[in-house]
Every structure is written in C-alpha cells, then in structure tokens.
Amino acid sequence: MSNTDKYLGLTPDEFDRFKRACLRTWQTIGQDMINSLWANAGLSEMPRSDVIELVLDADHMRMYGEQFTKDWIPFYGLRLEPWISEHYHWPSFNRLMREVFPFEHYA
C-alpha cells in the first residue's frame, strides 16, 4: 500500500498538514464546546465522533486550521475540502481520523 493509498489520496505531507489543522481547530473551539456541554447537559466530555464532526463542520477548520499561513485558504478550498467531502462517510476515513483524534472521548 502506498502512502497516498493510506491517506486516501493525500500525500504524507498533506495529511500531516490536515492533522495539524484539525488539532489546531480543536484547540481553538474545543473548550467552548466542552463548557457548553457542561452548562447545558452537565457533561464534561465529548465522544471522538462528535469532535471530528465539529472540527470538520461549518468551516471551522477553514477558519482556524492555519489561519496565519498565506496559502491555507487555497490549500483548504482546492485540496482538503473536496477530499473531506469525498471521503467523509467512508469507513476508511473514520479509521484514518483515529490517527488524528486517538482518544475515545475528549474533555
């Protein structure tokens, strides 16, 4: 299996950039989400599947992924956004996202 197969068509460098952007996005919005869960439902953690959906949904990653990198918006719009849309519902994408978010729950 080639590296691009492993990463569903992304190169290892592109996947590393995607992973860093996901983690940076979660760092930016995660605490607010956990605080909201606590205030509204008394919950102090979020399952991985919800974290992934939150990070990839509503342009959060486009806004926070690499907000200070000059080529981020073109890279996200032309490469990552179509890649995410194509693969999001694939079981192999879900397995790949475990490399990004390895824990079952996030607090």
What is the Rg, in whole angstroms, of the alpha carbon atoms belonging to the chain?
Answer: 14
Domains: count for the chain: 1
Neighbour-count burial for 27-53, b at 16+ CB within 10 Å, e otherwise: ebbbeebbeebeeeeeeeebebeebbe
pLDDT of residue 67: 77
Residue with the two structure tokens 């390895």? 102
Q: For residue 25, give its domain range.
A: 3-106
Contacts of 54 (CB under 8 A, 6+ apart): 26, 29, 33, 46, 60
Average pLDDT of the residues of the chain: 92
Residue 3 has pLDDT above 80, yes or no: no
C-alpha to C-alpha distances, 6 to 18, 39, 55, 92, nearest whole angstrom: 14, 40, 21, 9
pLDDT tens digit sequence for 5-51: 899 999 999 999 999 999 999 999 999 999 998 888 888 899 999 99
1 band by pLDDT with thresholds 50, 70 and 90: low
Percentage of the residues of the chain whose pLDDT score is greater than 90: 76
48 contacts 104 by C-beta, under 8 angstroms: yes
